[in-house]
């Protein structure tokens, strides 16, 4: 589900709600997929920890902890359908709840994930680092440098988290529309001007989406259970067959890198 703007929105919400609270008891479900660290290790690190805060790194949520044994981090990747829910202990347990942290404030933080593509892990003594650059802070020159030699379609390169960490299918399509570049174009064949437009388009679309609280395409909700609004501003994503908002041409859908890719055949070249 969540790309950079959605994870940023969730991180801000969780930080506001939970910073300073303490984790008392941890319950972990029986499904192994969401656990990138052993269940016993997650339980040991989280139990008794004080939550210093939440922030976003790439598409990961990072919860900084003051654990019993010292500084630690709880890393949450939401995959496609992962959700972090803050609720009262009386709230009915949703299907696919994989972890419940009971908090000193009397609330619970629950991790719910139907498809189980999400991942939970804990780190002690090492700072979590995303493999790629932050799209919001990488400069224009760095951006150009990352893509200029790639033989892969620009859409694939944008989705490659080892280059930029945080761009997913929605914002790849939306930024390519703003840059007027088709998703199948080979990255190395983009002109400097096109890469520049892509950089600007990506900065704009990410900033606007964060301001709108992210995009809710099916089930994304923020830490308060509220939907985002940016889906109302999508220019191409999931608008197959609808008229381009700039020129009126019919929005096309093709598969690139195994993912649906939406573009305007007239505006994008």
Residues 137-166, interacting with DNA (CB under 7 A)? 150-153, 156, 159, 161
The string of DSSP letters for 63-105 reads EEEEETTEEEEEEEE-TTT-EEEEE-TTSPPPTTEEEEEEETT
Q: For residue 124, which of 26, 13, 46, 7 has the smallest C-alpha distance?
A: 46
Q: Is 243 a catalytic residue?
A: no
H helix or E strand, kind and range, residue 26? strand 23-28
Backbone angles phi and psi of 209, in degrees to 5 = -70, -40
Residue 259: active-site member: yes
Is 33 a binding residue for DNA by CB under 7 A? The answer is yes
Cβ nearer to DNA, comparing 135 with 168:
168
Nearer to DNA, 67 or 166 (CB): 166
Smallest Cα–Cα separation from 195: which of 236, 242, 141, 246? 141
Q: Total binding residues for DNA by CB under 7 A? A: 39
Q: Is 3 a catalytic residue?
A: yes
Per CB under 7 A, 213 contacts DNA: no
Report the site for DNA in 232-251 (rule: CB under 7 A): none
Q: What angle do CA 235, 238, 244 make, to 5 degrees?
A: 35
Q: Is 229 an interacting residue with respect to DNA (CB under 7 A)?
A: no
Q: Which residue out of 3, 6, 43, 194 is catalytically annotated? A: 3
Closest CA to 237 of 212, 205, 211: 205
Respond yes or no: is residue 2 known to be catalytic. Answer: yes
Q: Is 12 or 116 the residue whose CB approaches DNA more closely?
A: 116
Q: Any idea which residues carry the catalytic annotation?
A: 2-3, 59, 259
Residues that bind DNA (CB under 7 A): 1-3, 6, 33, 58-59, 77, 79-80, 95-96, 114-117, 119, 150-153, 156, 159, 161, 168-170, 214-220, 228, 257-260
């Amino acid at each position: 589900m969540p790309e950079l703007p959605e994870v940023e929105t969730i991180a801000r919400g969780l930080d506001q709600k939970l910073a300073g609270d303490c984790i008392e008891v941890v319950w972990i479900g029986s499904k192994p997929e969401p656990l990138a660290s052993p269940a016993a290790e997650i339980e040991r690190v989280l139990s008794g920890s004080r939550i210093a805060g939440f922030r976003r790194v790439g598409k990961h949520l990072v919860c900084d902890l003051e654990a019993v044994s010292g500084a630690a981090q709880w890393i949450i990747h939401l995959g496609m359908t992962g959700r972090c829910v803050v609720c009262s202990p009386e709230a009915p347990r949703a299907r696919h709840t994989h972890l419940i942290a009971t908090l000193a404030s009397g609330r619970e933080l629950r991790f719910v994930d139907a498809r189980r593509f999400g991942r939970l892990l804990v780190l002690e003594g090492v700072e979590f680092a995303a493999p790629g650059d932050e799209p919001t802070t990488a400069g224009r020159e760095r951006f150009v440098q990352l893509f200029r030699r790639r033989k892969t379609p620009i859409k694939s390169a944008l989705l490659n988290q080892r280059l930029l960490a945080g761009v997913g299918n929605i914002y790849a399509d939306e930024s390519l529309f703003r840059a007027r570049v088709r998703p199948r174009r080979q990255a190395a064949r983009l002109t400097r001007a096109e890469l520049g437009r892509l950089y600007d388009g990506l900065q704009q679309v990410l900033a606007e989406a964060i301001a709108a609280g992210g995009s809710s395409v099916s089930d994304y909700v923020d830490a308060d259970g509220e939907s985002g609004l940016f889906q109302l501003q999508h220019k191409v994503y999931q608008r197959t067959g609808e008229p381009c908002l700039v020129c009126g041409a019919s929005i096309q859908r093709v598969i690139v890198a195994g993912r649906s890719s939406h573009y305007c055949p007239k505006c994008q070249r």
